[in-house]
Amino acid sequence: MSKNEEAKNAGRRNFLRTSGVLGASGVLGATALAGCGSQNQDPPGTGSGTGTGTGSGTGGTPPETAPAGLNPHVEPGQLDEYYGFWSGGQSGEIRILGVPSMRELKRIPVFNRESATGHGATDWTKQVMGGMHVGDTHHVHLSYNDGTYDGRYIYVNDKANARLARVRCDVMEMDAMVEIPNSQGTHGIFPQRHRTGLVFCNSEFQIPTPNDGSVLDDPTQYYGLHTAVDGETMEVRWQVKVPGNMDLAATDYQGNYSFATCYNSERGVHLEEMMSAERDWLYVFNLAEIQRAVDAGQTIRIGSSPVPVVDATADTNPFVMRIPVAKSPHGVNIDPTGHYAVVAGKLSPTGTVVDITKIADAFAGRIEPRECVVAEPELGLGPLHTAFDGRGNAYTSIFIDSNITKWNIENAIRAHAGEQVEYIVNRCDVQYQVGHTNASMSETREADGRWLIALCKFSKDRFLNVGPHKPENDQLIDISGETMRLVHDGPTFSEPHDCVVVRADLIHPTSIQNREAARFRLYEQWAQEDGINLLEDSRIIRKGPQDVRIYMTSRAPNFALTEIPGIKTGDRVQIICTNQDDVEDLSHGFCLSRHDVCMVVNPRDTNSITFTAGAPGVYWYYCPWFCHALHLEMRGRFFVEPR
């Protein structure tokens, strides 16, 4: 029996009986972890594979020796070939790693309070964040031009508070944030690939629309929103109202369509209500038709939101097509040719391959939506996400089997058409229960088939025990050859969901602040009000009975002001500090004793923070970033008088 025929023995109903029910009862995790022990053990009905396993998963046993391939070691003083941008999960941040070294280079605070830099406490970040200091980042995606990264922006979601943020790649800091109206659980996001245009955001949680308390427990009135945000202005352009829980997002390479996986087509609100249908949907959004409706005013408004909403709740409409796919779809990924969308059904052992070139005919009614499906390969138990190598192969993360399955797209299509052809190439065991996976340049036309990341949800016994809250495990896999080769384990703080791996030559960060970010317009506005040159002047200005604004420059190893007198208890004090140094890597900052005040000020940068002066007394402020041999002496006194 061929690998493909063996795989077909694992039908969806059997999968739900043997695995899905265990997962619902809380037993699944332990069962799946216990099944990771054999190097070449294949789960029932998924095929034997042709490659060797790469890790035993038994008490941290080192991986089996593999043939030589790419060298992941980066010598001291040498640079990585790729930037890796990781979402930070519940930390609310983005992390930058070098690939293949897997060295963590930087953490970019986005939706979180971060004490080292003052993010979330400084004036501008507080204003942009709107008083919230919790975020849940799941997906990071870069801006595009002509199908590859343009090195300008990074977009990231906040599932907790329905927000989208943007990071500038030149300075690697957040520069814009927008709240998504009428939505909860903003999960999958994806920018257009033909140019820096729209960024599409899916609401995973259905809610009443409007969600004003007039409807509470009537799920038939719950809907989701597919939202288009302008990637340049970060303004919400329009939304599309649909039934179901939308999960991951994707876009084509021409700017014609956006995609959303949709699970819970049953529209249930409890787990047992979400599993009865045989299939769920891949939503395909017809962007031209949606824009025509918006331009013609054929939209509705939800509550007090001014955003135009296209109502696509009818079973058939010109705006959204529902392609039936394997049950409970999670990831949707577009191959580098732009020809195929691969959908992974997590409550089915199968993936679904959709031919994007057939979608126009389906919208025109010449074929049925289901006829866009050209393959349904059996991949393993719990497929989630798919990456590509640019050589016609796909790599799907298999959650329950804890492996990466490599398979050939064209062979899967031929097998679906009835040919006797193998499409499973081989499998690589990972530790353990892999969620997202991504490969170097996989989401562009320039996928290069060198490195693949497996983001595993559990590390179990791969690292030293650090208590009940264990690290997760990001693993680096060499995919340059026929057989995958696991080459690195990396513990990571919970819970990075996704990453993108980008060639280093496409990213061009500056070393000195270029003062082009949006926040500098705010600083210049204040300086003009007060007749101040931000780069040169230092001055204490009393703005009102209880308001003091202090402009201060710094140059190693001194603050221009070493004493700040005249402050009274209860004064609202604003410090606006500018770093005059233009030496690379020479950051200063401002930290005030016993006032919960700390921020960074990078070379040629300005930053500001506002606080309330405390009890009468003398308080030292100092530079918290090592900048000079006399760094410890870089400080001053802050005098607080009784009111």
Which pLDDT score is estimated for 20? 38
276: buried, middle or exposed (CB in 10 Å: 19+, 13-18, 0-12)?
exposed
Write out the two tokens for 210: 């409007």
- Measured between alpha carbons, how far is 479 from 330 in angstroms, rounded to an integer? 24
Q: Which amino acid is at 68?
A: A
Q: How far is CA 514 from CA 61, 109, 172, 600, in A?
A: 49, 19, 12, 16
Which pLDDT score is estimated for 16? 40
Nearest Cα neighbor of 610 from 619, 600, 597 is 597
Question: How close are the terminal C-alpha atoms of the chain, in Å?
Answer: 88
Write out the two tokens for 99: 């690939």
Strands, sheet with 257-263, edge to edge from the N-terminal-most edge strand = 245-251, 257-263, 280-286, 320-325
Is residue 247 scored above 50 in pLDDT? yes
Banded pLDDT at 40 (limits 50, 70, 90)? very low
Is residue 44 scored above 90 in pLDDT? no
Q: Give the helix ranges, DSSP H, for 278-389.
A: 287-295, 359-363
CATH number of 180-376: 2.130.10.10
Residues of the chain with pLDDT > 70: what percent?
A: 89
Q: Long-range contacts: 491-495, Cβ < 8 Å, 24+? A: 491/459, 491/462, 491/463, 492/86, 493/88, 493/91, 494/89, 494/90, 494/91, 494/469, 495/89, 495/90, 495/457
Q: Long-range contacts: 52-57, Cβ < 8 Å, 24+? A: 52/426, 52/483, 53/427, 53/428, 53/429, 54/428, 54/429, 54/430, 54/477, 54/484, 54/485, 54/486, 55/429, 55/430, 55/431, 55/486, 56/429, 57/402, 57/429, 57/431, 57/432, 57/460
Average pLDDT on 59-73 reads 59
Collapse the DSSP code of 563 into the 3-class scheme (helix H, G, I; strand E, B; otherwise coil) and give the result: strand
Structural contact between residues 493 and 471, judged by C-beta atoms closer than 8 angstroms: yes
Residues of the chain with pLDDT > 90: what percent?
A: 86
Which pLDDT score is estimated for 211? 96
Is residue 616 scored above 60 in pLDDT? yes
- Measured between alpha carbons, how far is 269 from 562 in angstroms, rounded to an integer? 61
CA atoms within 13 A on the CB side of 254: 13
Domains of the chain, by residue range, sit at 1-110+386-509, 180-376, 519-641
Is residue 5 scored above 70 in pLDDT? no
Pick among 2.60.40.10, 2.60.40.420, 1.20.1740.10, 1.10.3720.10: CATH of 519-641:
2.60.40.420
Q: How far is CA 469 from CA 59, 97, 319, 380, in A?
A: 18, 22, 45, 29
Structural contact between residues 245 and 275, judged by C-beta atoms closer than 8 angstroms: no
- Measured between alpha carbons, how far is 324 from 379 in angstroms, rounded to an integer? 18
Banded pLDDT at 68 (limits 50, 70, 90)? low
Is residue 472 scored above 90 in pLDDT? yes
Whole-prediction pTM value?
0.91
Please list, in sequence order, all residues whose beta carbon lies within 8 angstroms of the beta carbon of residue 465, skipping any fewer than 6 positions away. Answer: none
Query: Does 585 or 30 have the greater pLDDT score?
Result: 585
Q: How far is CA 32 from CA 42, 61, 137, 328, 585, in A?
A: 12, 18, 26, 19, 46
Q: Give the helix ranges, DSSP H, for 399-518.
A: 409-416
Banded pLDDT at 278 (limits 50, 70, 90)? confident
> How many degrees, rounded to 5, is the angle at CA 135 between CA 115 and CA 132?
70
pLDDT digits (tens, 9 = 90+) for 380-422: 999 999 999 999 999 999 999 999 999 999 999 999 999 999 9
The alpha-carbon radius of gyration of the chain (Å, integer) is: 27
Average pLDDT on 223-244 reads 97
Q: Name the β-bridge partners of 619.
A: 638
Which pLDDT score is estimated for 275? 85
Which pLDDT score is estimated for 24? 35
pLDDT digits (tens, 9 = 90+) for 90-119: 999 999 999 999 999 999 999 999 999 999
pLDDT digits (tens, 9 = 90+) for 129-151: 999 999 999 999 999 999 999 99
Mean pLDDT of the chain: 90
- Measured between alpha carbons, how far is 534 from 538 in angstroms, rounded to an integer? 8
Banded pLDDT at 64 (limits 50, 70, 90)? very low
Is residue 50 scored above 60 in pLDDT? no
Query: What letter does residue 300 receive in the DSSP assignment?
Result: B
Question: What string of DSSP letters covers 210-256?
Answer: S-SSS--S-GGGEEEEEEEEETTT--EEEEEEESSEEEEEEE-SSSS
Collapse the DSSP code of 429 into the 3-class scheme (helix H, G, I; strand E, B; otherwise coil) and give the result: strand
Which pLDDT score is estimated for 495? 87
Which pLDDT score is estimated for 3? 45
Is residue 160 scored above 80 in pLDDT? yes
Over the range 545-555, which residues count as b (16 or more CB within 10 Å of their CB) and which as e?
Answer: eeebbbbbbbb
Average pLDDT on 448-473 reads 95
